[in-house]
Chains A and B, each alone.
Chain A
């Protein structure tokens, strides 16, 4: 399969670099479906006669596999190039759906765990990191903008998958018009088959559109010395193996972990939380279920737009400063939400929207931050290792929120005050992340890869 090799994907002269972001977006929009599993969650509970937790495990396995495969396969992705990585990701992601559908048709839940969770999760991890290093190389002048465009797709994928999946379930289930309708297992199986075919085709479009720049390529008018003018930006390179030995990697890891944990705290509980915040003394909430669903949709848009807007802004402000905003301003907004969020729905919605945009921004700015600190050499592999912070936050965030809420009362009886301990804990976490980010400084030269020009000049000096 030599046609997938990096050497076969080198762009010819005159190739327009603006073809690369849609190729990356095609992959991220597909794997972003992972955030739309709630569409068929109830249907699977009914079909398998399982609990919500047992069905939720499917998603949990997928996210854990995302982090693990990104960390383990990062170096392979950097070495083999984006086309082979996207192709592999597409095969895993589509196979996940196919095996998952087999599990649904045969009523074998373990097959759904294996398919969508384990195999699909590997596709998620490889797909997520596959275009990152290529985009950074194509856009050395605007790395934040470039990675923001791609990673925005992961937030946007659910916006597409939700309505499309709902429409397909209605089409496949003859009882869809019934009152209180829950989709049949058969219709979810058919949905999985359809998504497998659609996503495979879309991701192949991405795989065969993407190209890597030739060695030494740079955009017209780009002056690397201007980029270097920023204190934290290096023109040296650090390998993935060495990067994890640096203090800077772990400080960024802590900053990302804190930012994601805090964001997940709101995302996980979004719909019940807004209803609980505006629950009256008679136990009835001023916010209906339909309005709460609208709020969840608004947060999805905040998450997606934050990924693009804040990451693009970081090209102007610098990565460290924008992380100070995510974590510092985020902590203040979280505190206001905890203490005064219940005074007005507008205030509550505005605060949550900005907080979630910071959550998304943290994800999309991370690759450019790593590029600044460690260079472009193995930035994809380093990014893969950093994503373990996401997996850890995916466990810590819901655990913190649920543990506090369980101690406060039962669902349906909670009020704004019930959320204060959890939210104020998140404020503390954001402050820790803020301090970690503040401590980030340039990587010590002993971690840098040898530079050919320096080796040559040292040899010349010796010969002289």
Chain B
């Protein structure tokens, strides 16, 4: 049985919220780490 989805509902709002929930903390962590890394090249 094959039920290929040809049209995908974008669910943009849900996508933005879901990615923001993981992306914002991760971005914060990378930023904080990069500020420490700066000492390496300072």
Contact = CB atoms under 8 A, between A and B. Distances in A.
Q: Do A and B come from one complex?
A: yes
Contacts of A14: 5, 7-9
A294 B4 contact: no
A297 B37 contact: yes
Interface in B5-42: 5-11, 14-15, 18-19, 21-23, 25-26, 28-30, 32-34, 36-40, 42
Contact of B22 (A16, A29, A163, A214): A29
A209 interface: yes
Contacts of B6: 220
Contact of B11 (A16, A215, A297): A16
Contacts of B9: 14-16
Contacts of B30: 156, 159, 301, 304
Interface residues of A, number: 43
Nearest to B4: A218
Nearest to A345: B40
A300 to B, nearest CB: 6
Contacts of A159: 26, 29-30, 32-33
Interface in A24-57: 25-26, 29
Given A19-B15, A23-B18, A25-B22, A349 B8 contact: no
Interface string A1-34: 0000000000001111111001101100100000
Interface string A207-221: 001000011111110
A293 interface: yes
Contacts of B29: 156, 158-163
Q: Which of B1, B21, B28 has the most A CB atoms < 10 Å from its CB?
A: B21
Contacts of B28: 160, 163
Contacts, number: 104
Contacts of A162: 29, 32-33
A218 B8 CA distance: 12
Looking at chain B's contact residues, is the secondary structure mostly helix, strand, loop, or mixed? helix
Contacts of B15: 16, 18-19
Contacts of A214: 3
A243 B30 CA distance: 38
A16 B10 contact: yes
Given A29-B26, A159-B26, A159-B33, A205 B7 contact: no
Nearest to B33: A297
Nearest to B25: A160
Nearest to B20: A22
Contacts of A160: 25-26, 28-29
A305 to B, nearest CB: 9
Contacts of B4: 217-220, 222
Nearest to B26: A156
A178 interface: no
Given A295-B40, A349-B40, A22 B19 contact: yes
A380 B39 CA distance: 41
Given A23-B18, A297-B34, 6 more contacts: A14-B7, A15-B11, A159-B30, A162-B33, A293-B36, A298-B40
Interface of A: 13-19, 22-23, 25-26, 29, 153, 156, 158-163, 202, 205, 209, 214-220, 222, 288, 290-291, 293-295, 297-298, 300-301, 304, 349
6 smallest beta-carbon distances between A and B, as pairs? A159-B29, A160-B29, A14-B9, A294-B40, A294-B39, A22-B18
26 contacts: A14-B7, A15-B9, A15-B11, A16-B10, A16-B15, A19-B11, A22-B21, A29-B25, A29-B26, A156-B29, A159-B29, A160-B25, A162-B33, A202-B21, A209-B18, A214-B3, A216-B3, A217-B3, A219-B4, A219-B5, A220-B4, A222-B4, A293-B39, A294-B38, A298-B37, A298-B40
